[in-house]
A and B are shown apart, each in its own frame.
Chain A
Amino acid sequence: MEKPFVTIENVSKIFQTRNRSSIAALKDINMQFGKGGFVSIVGPSGCGKSTIIRMIDDIIKPTAGAITVDGFTYDNNVPISKERVQKMGFIFQAPNLYPWFTVKQNVMLPLKIYGKHSQEYDEVADRLLDSVNMLGYADAYPAEISGGMSQRIGVIRGMVHEPEILMMDEPYGALDESTREQLNMELLKIWKDTGMTIIFITHNVEEAVLLSERVYVMESHPGRIVAEINIEFDQPRTLGLLTEEKFGRYCMEIENLIGKIDLSKVK
């Protein structure tokens, strides 16, 4: 991670509640990482992990601070440019497929919105469907495929327009352990093949250590980053890492950081 590609500078977010009190969701968030990196954000639920990537994707505006992606800076007043948005992909916690579109139409939805209709993109969609073994289901409707399949489609929809940055909001949270491991391995392969920058949100510490080059650990009330841990394993990573002692040490270190916060609250 050399030259900074994504920079988050002193970003804070205050939400106004319905009875007009304000909640500090995020306070002074600073992050910086290079192009092609894989970073994870872990933390207790409600610490604002999802809010951070929603601000990078410009779905939510920061109250203070600024975000710079590839030299373009945006904040509360300056919206992200259309061209820049098209270089970002967002993968939701739920697959969020539209039941009125077929699997392939769902995958192609970002292209439709960006007005990219060429044959070339059609092939990209087919290739992605093939890469997750779903080409045979291209004309099926979401109601006709399983939860794991839906999640795969949700993931490739986020990358069909070949984004430079992929934000993933606990994409495999609802899946069983073995499907999750399989999809994680698929993700690592896609990351290696495309050279995308991936920002991965999870509350699963092992998953974060297995996948990422760097893990940001967060604490809540207000949401803030308490540690930044570089995970030094060789690429490509395999599930074999799970049994290594070093892997266990990383997990322990992160779990302690999160656990400390929880223990202090239990009184």
Chain B
Amino acid sequence: MEKNYALKNAPLVKILGSGIPPIVLIVALLAFWQISCVVRDIPTWMLARPTAVGGALASGFGALLPDILSTYANIIIGFALAVAIGLAVAILISSFSLLSSALTPLIIALCCIPMVTLVPMMMLVLGTGPNVKIIAIIIQAFPLVNLNSVVAFLNVSPERLELMQSLKANRVQSFLYCVFPDGIHGVFTGIRLASIMAMVTGVSSEIIGGNAGLGSRIIYFINFSKTADAFSCIIYIAVLGIIIYGVISIIESRVKW
């Protein structure tokens, strides 16, 4: 049982530390990329070479810092609020069936609408500042936390719940001591999925409008055929994704059951 969860529960450090194989693979892929570009003489404006991307990462960091911070801040704030809202609404929905029947269809609908399609309209109303991006992230990401948590809370083990009934625990006690810990892995599944949606929505909102953030930088660099700089932006975005994944993994690794 524990073994099946080994990968899911392992902190990022462990996964990276688990060895040389991934490092060798990454180096091999980069080498293949570099050699292909050189051998086929692919121009830089079409596809940047890894060495050029490395150079751009080193030289462009200072200039990109405000955009990096802006993107990171939007995604982290939006994602954190999405987790908090998703969880809070899940607790309400799983406790009151009337709320569940009223809210669930709406939440599923939100889940199904790609926010990229709504963001341009939201920008007409709210402008292109950080607020609209954070709101878009929340709307797209919270349903995933919410739906997964609700399913986990409602599928609490009947035997475990019966102990609470036998002790005549009140709702709060029953939730804290039984339902929440029993469903914690479902909550984490939702949080992981939500982190991916937060990344996608955050960056795509920046691509759609405004001139701040890594998403808007990528479009800017591509317009000027600066592919190496565009790639460096993508790497900064990937770094945030890895950080978020790592933090979630470390927190979940503390859950021992």
Contacts and interface: CB of A to CB of B under 8 A. Distances in A.
Interface of A: 57-59, 82, 85, 90, 92, 94, 96, 98-100, 109-110, 112-114, 141, 143
B173 A113 contact: yes
Given A96-B160, A99-B257, A143-B257, A113 B167 contact: yes
Interface in B223-257: 255-257
Nearest to B180: A100
A49 to B, nearest CB: 16
Nearest to A141: B256
A109 B167 contact: yes
A143 B173 CA distance: 23
A114 B170 CA distance: 10
Interface residues of B, number: 17
Interface string B151-169: 0000000011011111111
B159 A94 contact: yes
Contacts of B32: none
Contact of B166 (A57, A100, A141, A143): A57
A230 B181 CA distance: 45
B99 to A, nearest CB: 25
14 contacts: A59-B166, A82-B168, A85-B168, A90-B163, A90-B166, A92-B159, A92-B162, A96-B159, A98-B178, A100-B181, A100-B255, A100-B256, A109-B167, A112-B177
A169 to B, nearest CB: 10
Given A85-B168, A109-B177, A96 B163 contact: yes
Interface of B: 159-160, 162-169, 173, 177-178, 181, 255-257
A141 B166 CA distance: 22
B167 A110 contact: yes
A98 B162 CA distance: 12
Task: Please report whether the interface of chain B is mostly helix, strand, loop or mixed according to DSSP.
Answer: helix
Contacts of B165: 59
Contacts of B166: 57, 59, 90
Nearest to A58: B168
A113 B177 contact: yes
Given A90-B166, A113-B169, A143-B257, A98 B159 contact: no
Nearest to A167: B166
**6 smallest beta-carbon distances between A and B, as pairs:** A99-B257, A100-B181, A90-B166, A85-B168, A113-B167, A113-B169
A112 B256 CA distance: 22
Nearest to B2: A143
A92 B157 CA distance: 14
A98 B181 contact: yes
A27 to B, nearest CB: 24
A58 to B, nearest CB: 8
A145 to B, nearest CB: 14
A8 B178 CA distance: 31
